[in-house]
Amino acid sequence: MIKFLGLLSKKKKVKANLASAIYVNLLNNVIEVGFLEIKDFINNNNNLEDKPSITNQHSNWFRSIVFLGNMRNLDDFFEENESVILRGFILEEMHKDLVDSDQALAIERFLDYENYFAELLVEKGDVINAMAYAIFEKYNINQYQGDLFKRKNKPNPIFYNELKNLLKHFIWNWQEYLDKNKIVFSEKIV
């Protein structure tokens, strides 16, 4: 009964700003390493007629897409006011290395992308589908497909499903994190 009430909880208490910093840094590491795999998957895919020639300079789109997908999942694990607080900390952490004016522009651009992603999410139904389609659009994959799929302007289903399976590895596991940690949204940690 006492454990049920949380009095003997063994969860580590973590301030929201620290949890956001951990989240951003770990996602950035996964994106940095994982983009190489995504790039190779797209550039060398047998289901495309031509090679897209995606380079490391194209990683910014991928980074945005991964963060957009992950930030949509906040609402599944937190109350609305907590999601808003976390989003603010995450956006600050994502752009902390920029000077103030560049930071404001980068955040504004990210919020514009978020509107685009929200439309995709409604159309595609879930985060992974929306992320895969965003990659299809933002990297202009249609122009590298065979004529049938190119005319339809739809991703080759084999390519699309393989891409979705890869993208599942870029989703933050909030359930696992929250099983071990309790995010504290107030200033004091007792």
The answer, yes or no, to whether residue 2 has pLDDT greater than 70, is no
The answer, yes or no, to whether residue 140 has pLDDT greater than 50, is yes
Q: How far apart are CA 164 and CA 129, in angstroms?
A: 7
The radius of gyration of the chain's CA atoms, rounded to the nearest angstrom, is 19
Average pLDDT, stretch 161-173? 96
Looking at the chain, the whole-number percentage of residues with pLDDT higher than 90 is 77
Backbone angles phi, psi at 8, to 5 degrees: -110, 30
pLDDT band at 176 (very low <50, low <70, confident <90, very high): very high
Backbone angles phi, psi at 80, to 5 degrees: -55, -45
Give residue-wise pLDDT tens across range 89-124: 999 999 888 777 787 888 888 888 999 999 999 999
Number of H helices, E strands in the chain: 9, 2
pLDDT for 19 equals 95
Q: How far apart are CA 165 and CA 49, in angstroms?
A: 21
The encoded tokens of residue 96 equal 């902390």
pLDDT for 186 equals 78
pLDDT band at 164 (very low <50, low <70, confident <90, very high): very high
Q: Which of 125, 122, 138 is nearest to 64 (CA)?
A: 138
Give residue-wise pLDDT tens across range 38-94: 999 999 999 999 999 999 988 989 999 999 999 999 999 999 999 999 999 999 999
Residues 6+ apart with CB under 8 A from 15: 183, 184, 189
Concatenated DSSP letters of 144-183: GS-HHHHHHT---HHHHHHHHHHHGGGS--HHHHHHHEEE
